[in-house]
């Protein structure tokens, strides 16, 4: 399966290169060379020379693509929509309005090639040149995924600071012309201004290359929605990691204009939602949760976007080994008998397209295992996705499509982070069931293929396997496939989730020995205390990192004072102390801490910590390395968004600092400890504030799906 296999940590010392010169992988690793294109955009040469030049509206009109298609070639074109096409003047002598509109669109397509003779030549528009401002660039994503990328002097103007006025003024500092060209070249590509294409076969790209958007369908809030697809996402590049050529990364623009899958939408993304996805992707990675990655934000201040209010556009660049979702399989093998659509309709099943897609990507049990592991990590770190529709579930087990997400503040196992989710379908405690639902939807789509293979002695089906086969036979194969795989898939999900969930919480509590009773006697008991007392989820775990069993001895006044102070610190994690029955809460904590201390002491002389010189110190450091000091809370996101919307030139430094904190969440930001505020620098005081629970009115803040 084309999916993430492992982290790559080898140091890469090869020369840096601009994005247009990053190497392409062999054809076997390029999605468009292995799956089936939309017949309206059949291959890169036709796409560039005919579609873009003569009938570009094919890319921009919402339509049901042909049933066999997995993707459609699409050029980035971030323009306000509906398009404002100025009427022709009398001197232009236009008689065919359709031709005039096609020419208007074509002039704004990136189709004019550069003189640079590289495998992927940059193509630009003759009539579109909006202002593009790089406001964020992720160093961690570059290091992990694109270590050969030359970003020029981009970081010179993106220094991190919560208090930008304390920065040394580097704007206008001279850098080499080469560094400036590299930075501007990157901004032009990631802002959707320059399109990278190789329309004709070459030594480095045997089948040519052009950007594309994927077709997929899906269930939204449990109802069949029909065709959805990449309505504003366009993959612009795929490149191998230099440390492992078999590991390839797709580079995708989100918010770069309409595609055939945009339906009634504009294909754009607003600044606020772009900031949310940019920060959270890297924050999740830092917490060890599988996720797509974020590379950059390019702000388009001259492109307006209409949502609940008039906003400005922004293009997010995200990176992953694959962006294929469960919905890609539902598109070519939809549920039988589905008649109700939230979307714009659904094509008939195409089982040959299912075979091709299945051979390229999906091992159903591996998909189930990866997603069970992912959702266990969500639960352990209090992450709520908000919209776990089947089209938002990755076959690689990556967190994808960051919309109305949230991290848990005060623990509430029924918390709903999406204010559009009236029934709580995607509430925190429902997330494991929603991943199970998505995996069963994948099984339902793959079941005819599995059943056909069973029918012929567990041999792989061949091209044309379902041609001229009756619907009754397809139904029989589907039923057989579900019967064969359902039980094992369910067992994989349950066992993987149970193990990963317990292991994650053990890490957070610095326990190394596997004890089956930990989940109920330690973890669930702790979560119940947090919920009953209204305590901050992450803050409580961070404070428990400093607990030592000897605090409970109570042999002298000092011990008693230390324990009382520790419990008082735990109770300070409530935003409403006036509602807390302190005496009862203290008794609950004493009972739990005694049980926790007994569990800790059971490992003191065991082999799990034998290599550590100081057991208590080793445990504390292990706990601090698993429990974030900084959490990307809703109030932090809202504050950063407002600052960037009001003053992007200065607030981009705040954005960079928040990204830095999100990428190193376990560091003791703001001089964690008892140092009084007046001993801190202005920057450290802001760090400390950003690590806090935040305003009471922002606790449990719900976002909308509007982005």
Q: How many domains does the chain divide into?
A: 4
Of the candidates 346, 344, 360, 418, which has an alpha carbon nearest to the alpha carbon of residue 385?
Answer: 418
Strands (E), 271-365: 293-306, 310-320
Please tell me whether residue 153 adopts helix, strand or coil conformation. Answer: coil
**Domain-located, residue 193:** yes
List the alpha helices (DSSP H) in 456-523.
471-508, 518
**Alpha carbon distance 573, 696 (integer Å):** 12
**Alpha carbon distance 238, 701 (integer Å):** 37
- One domain, residues 527 and 495: no
- For the chain, the straight-line distance linking the first and the last C-alpha, in angstroms and rounded, comes to 31
Q: For residue 97, what pLDDT is reported?
A: 86
- One domain, residues 605 and 663: no
Tell which of 275, 304, 323 closes a domain.
Answer: 323
- One domain, residues 673 and 581: no
- One domain, residues 520 and 449: no
- One domain, residues 502 and 641: no
- One domain, residues 552 and 605: yes
- One domain, residues 533 and 558: yes
Query: Which residue's structure tokens are 């009539």?
Result: 127
Q: For residue 171, what pLDDT is reported?
A: 55
Q: What six digits make up the tokens of 692? A: 């806090």
Q: Is 391 an annotated catalytic residue? A: yes
Q: For residue 6, what pLDDT is reported?
A: 47
Tell which of 266, 293, 323 closes a domain.
Answer: 323
Q: What six digits make up the tokens of 470? A: 């009756």
Strands (E), 74-111: none
Tell which of 323, 352, 385 closes a domain.
Answer: 323
Q: Give the pLDDT means over successive 10-residue stretches in the chain (707 positions).
A: 49 82 94 97 96 96 97 98 87 78 95 82 94 98 98 97 84 81 97 94 79 97 95 97 96 98 96 98 98 98 95 98 98 80 80 95 92 98 98 98 96 96 96 98 97 95 95 96 97 98 98 96 98 98 97 74 95 95 97 98 95 96 98 98 97 98 98 92 97 93 75
**Alpha carbon distance 22, 121 (integer Å):** 11
**Alpha carbon distance 586, 570 (integer Å):** 9
Q: For residue 14, what pLDDT is reported?
A: 79
Q: Which residues contact 579 (CB under 8 A, 6 or more apart)?
A: 534
**Domain-located, residue 352:** no
**Alpha carbon distance 537, 518 (integer Å):** 18
CB 350 within 8 A of CB 338: no
- One domain, residues 544 and 670: no
**Domain-located, residue 167:** no
**Domain-located, residue 332:** no
Q: For residue 475, what pLDDT is reported?
A: 96
- One domain, residues 418 and 470: yes
| Cα→Cα distances 680→375, 672, 685, Å | 39, 11, 6
Output the CA torsion 208→209→210→211 (10° steps). 160
- One domain, residues 577 and 648: no
**Domain-located, residue 546:** yes
**Domain-located, residue 672:** yes
CB 152 within 8 A of CB 186: yes
Q: For residue 5, what pLDDT is reported?
A: 46
Catalytic residue among 153, 157, 391, 409: 391
**Domain-located, residue 87:** no
- One domain, residues 425 and 393: yes
**Alpha carbon distance 296, 231 (integer Å):** 20
Tell how far CA 512 is from the center of its chain: 30
Domain that holds residue 245: 19-82+105-154+176-323
DSSP bridge pairs for 136: 297
**Domain-located, residue 329:** no
- One domain, residues 313 and 181: yes
Helix H or strand E segment including 71: strand 71-73
């Amino acid at each position: 399966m084309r999916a993430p296999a492992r982290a790559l940590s080898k140091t890469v010392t090869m020369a840096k290169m601009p994005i247009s010169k990053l190497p392409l992988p062999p054809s076997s690793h390029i999605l468009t060379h292995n799956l089936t294109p939309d017949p309206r955009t059949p291959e890169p040469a036709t796409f560039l020379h005919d579609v873009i030049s003569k009938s570009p509206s094919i890319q921009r009109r919402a339509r049901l693509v042909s049933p066999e298609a997995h993707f459609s070639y699409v050029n980035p074109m971030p323009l306000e929509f509906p398009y404002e096409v100025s009427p022709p003047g009398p001197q232009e002598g236009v008689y065919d309005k359709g031709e005039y509109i096609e020419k208007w669109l074509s002039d704004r397509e990136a189709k004019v090639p550069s003189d640079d003779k590289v495998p992927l030549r940059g193509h630009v528009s003759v009539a579109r040149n909006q202002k593009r401002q790089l406001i964020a660039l992720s160093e961690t994503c570059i290091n992990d995924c694109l270590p050969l990328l030359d970003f020029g002097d981009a970081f010179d103007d993106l220094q991190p600071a919560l208090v930008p006025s304390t920065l040394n003024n580097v704007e206008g500092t001279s850098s080499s012309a080469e560094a400036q060209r590299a930075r501007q070249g990157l901004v032009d590509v990631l802002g959707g201004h320059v399109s990278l294409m190789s329309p004709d076969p070459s030594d480095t790209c045997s089948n040519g290359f052009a950007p594309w958007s994927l077709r997929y369908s899906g269930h939204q809030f449990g109802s069949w929605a029909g065709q959805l697809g990449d309505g504003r996402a366009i993959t612009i590049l795929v490149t191998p990691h230099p440390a492992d050529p078999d590991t390839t990364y797709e580079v995708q623009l989100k918010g770069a204009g309409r595609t055939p899958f945009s339906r009634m939408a504009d294909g754009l993304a607003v600044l606020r939602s772009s900031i949310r996805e940019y920060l959270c992707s890297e924050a999740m990675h830092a917490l060890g949760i599988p996720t797509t990655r974020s590379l950059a934000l390019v702000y388009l201040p001259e492109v307006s976007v209409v949502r609940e209010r008039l906003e400005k556009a922004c293009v997010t660049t995200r990176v992953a080994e694959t962006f294929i979702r469960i919905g890609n399989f539902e598109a070519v093998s939809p549920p039988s008998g589905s008649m109700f659509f939230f979307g714009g309709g659904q094509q008939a099943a195409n089982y040959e397209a299912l075979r091709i897609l299945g051979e390229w990507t999906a091992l159903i049990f591996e998909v189930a295992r990866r997603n069970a592991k992912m959702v266990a990590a969500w639960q352990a770190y209090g992450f709520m996705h908000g919209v776990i529709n089947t089209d938002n579930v990755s076959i690689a087990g990556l967190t994808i499509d960051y919309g109305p997400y949230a991290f848990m503040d005060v623990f509430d196992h029924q918390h709903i982070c999406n204010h559009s989710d009236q029934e709580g379908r995607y509430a925190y405690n429902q997330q494991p069931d929603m991943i199970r639902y998505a995996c069963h939807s994948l099984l339902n789509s793959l079941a005819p293929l599995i059943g056909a293979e069973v029918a012929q002695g567990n041999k792989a089906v061949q091209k044309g396997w379902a041609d001229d086969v009756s619907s009754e036979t397809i139904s029989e194969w589907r039923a057989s496939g579900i019967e064969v795989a359902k039980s094992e898939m369910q067992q994989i999900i349950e066992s993987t989730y149970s193990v990963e969930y317990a292991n994650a919480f053990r890490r957070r509590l610095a326990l190394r020995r596997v004890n089956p009773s930990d989940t109920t006697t330690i973890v669930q008991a702790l979560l119940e205390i947090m919920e009953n007392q209204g305590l901050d989820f992450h803050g409580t775990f961070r404070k428990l990192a400093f607990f030592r069993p000897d605090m409970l001895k109570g042999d002298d006044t000092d011990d008693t004072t230390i324990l009382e102070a520790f419990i008082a610190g735990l109770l300070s994690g409530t935003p409403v102390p006036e509602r807390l029955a302190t005496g009862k809460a203290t008794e609950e904590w004493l009972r739990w801490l005694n049980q926790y201390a007994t569990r800790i002491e059971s490992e003191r002389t065991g082999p799990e910590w034998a290599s550590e010189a100081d057991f208590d110190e080793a445990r504390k450091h292990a706990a601090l390395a698993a429990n974030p000091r900084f959490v990307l809370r809703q109030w932090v996101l809202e504050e950063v968004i407002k600052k960037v919307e009001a003053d992007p030139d200065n607030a981009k430094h705040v954005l960079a600092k928040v990204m830095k904190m999100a990428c190193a969440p376990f560091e003791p930001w703001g001089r964690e400890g008892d140092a009084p505020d007046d001993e801190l620098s202005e920057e450290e005081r802001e760090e400390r504030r950003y690590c806090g629970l935040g305003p009471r009115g922002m606790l449990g803040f719900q976002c909308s799906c509007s982005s």
